[in-house]
Amino acid sequence: FTIGRLDIAPNAPSVVAERASFSIDLRHPDAAVLTQLGDAVAATCARQAGSCEVTVTELSCAMPQRFDAALQARLAGSAARLGV
């Protein structure tokens, strides 16, 4: 996963943040694993929240796609011919 965006308020030095928002980009080649990881986000955040309020909102969902094997082979052959 990656944290794609982080928004802290107030965003000022020496001030305790009142709110923090961030996005998580989860990826995995296995759709079942990806679904399991995505389903665990809310519970994981809730367990770590302490006395803070946590809200989890799913913004989008895209299952993994396999890159065409024949195209992969052509790209690998082209790269090898170019010495890349």
The pLDDT tens digits for 19-46 are 999 999 999 999 999 999 999 999 999 9
Write the single-letter amino acid at 22.
Answer: F
What is the rounded average pLDDT of the residues 46-73?
94
pLDDT higher than 90, residue 57:
yes
Output the six-digit token pair for 9.
Answer: 């308020």
What gap in Å lies between CA 11 and CA 19, rounded to an integer?
Answer: 9
What's the length of the chain? 84
What gap in Å lies between CA 18 and CA 69, rounded to an integer?
Answer: 49
What gap in Å lies between CA 24 and CA 33, rounded to an integer?
Answer: 16
| pLDDT tier at 4, thresholds 50, 70, 90 | confident
What is the distance, to the nearest Å, from the Cα of residue 45 to the centroid of all Cα atoms in its chain?
14
What gap in Å lies between CA 54 and CA 52, rounded to an integer?
Answer: 6
pLDDT higher than 90, residue 71:
yes
